[in-house]
């Protein structure tokens, strides 16, 4: 299960996005050390600040299922109705980078994709340098 399969899983997750306010649907697929994949999508709220990003939905789903060690995450995003390849890469927001750091650490592979054939990958350490994490406490 790797890059293209993980991106495919993120595309499937995006189909369930609840985004009536932004109309920007995001899907994520998180690969655990066990080999299991956990899907996540953004879930918005009339109280805008209560919205949850796709990446965090995936992390929380994984932890709830008993997985606490992560290898990679694939993320896709695009306006509702748009089909891949999307016009942009959906980079995780800062809150999601912090949440991913907690259990993914600097080596977590972050795959931002427009479709299965158009993607870029980064380590979380590249996306969140000098992070504050459990190792600091």
Please tell me which residue in 5, 9, 15, 55 is annotated as part of the active site.
55
User: Of 10, 13, 19, 73, which lies in the binding site for ligand THU, with binding defined by CB under 6 A?
Assistant: 19
Using CA atoms of 41, 62, 104, 107 in order, give the dihedral in degrees to the nearest 10: -80
Please report whether residue 51 would count as binding ligand THU according to CB under 6 A.
yes
Between 34 and 80, CB nearer to ligand THU: 80
Q: Is 130 left (phi over 0), alpha (psi -120 to 50) or beta?
A: left
Cis previous bond, 85, omega within 30: yes
Is 55 an annotated catalytic residue?
A: yes
CB 31 within 8 A of CB 37: yes
* Stretch binding ligand THU (CB under 6 A), from 1-9, 16-24, 114-122, 124-132: 16-24
Residues binding ligand THU (CB under 6 A): 19, 22, 24, 26, 42, 44, 51, 53-55, 75, 90, 92-93, 96
């Amino acid at each position: 299960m790797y890059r293209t399969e993980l991106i495919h899983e993120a595309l499937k997750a995006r189909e369930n996005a609840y985004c009536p306010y932004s109309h920007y649907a995001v899907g994520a697929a998180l690969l655990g050390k066990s080999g299991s994949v956990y899907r996540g999508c953004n879930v918005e709220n009339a109280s805008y600040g209560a919205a949850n990003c796709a990446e965090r939905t995936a992390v929380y789903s994984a932890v709830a299922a008993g997985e606490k060690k992560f290898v990679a995450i694939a993320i896709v995003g695009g306006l509702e109705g748009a089909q891949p390849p999307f016009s942009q890469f959906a980079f995780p927001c800062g809150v999601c980078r912090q949440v991913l750091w907690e259990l993914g650490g600097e080596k977590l592979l972050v795959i931002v994709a427009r479709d299965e054939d158009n993607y870029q990958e980064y380590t979380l350490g590249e996306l969140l340098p000098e992070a504050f994490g459990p190792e600091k406490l």
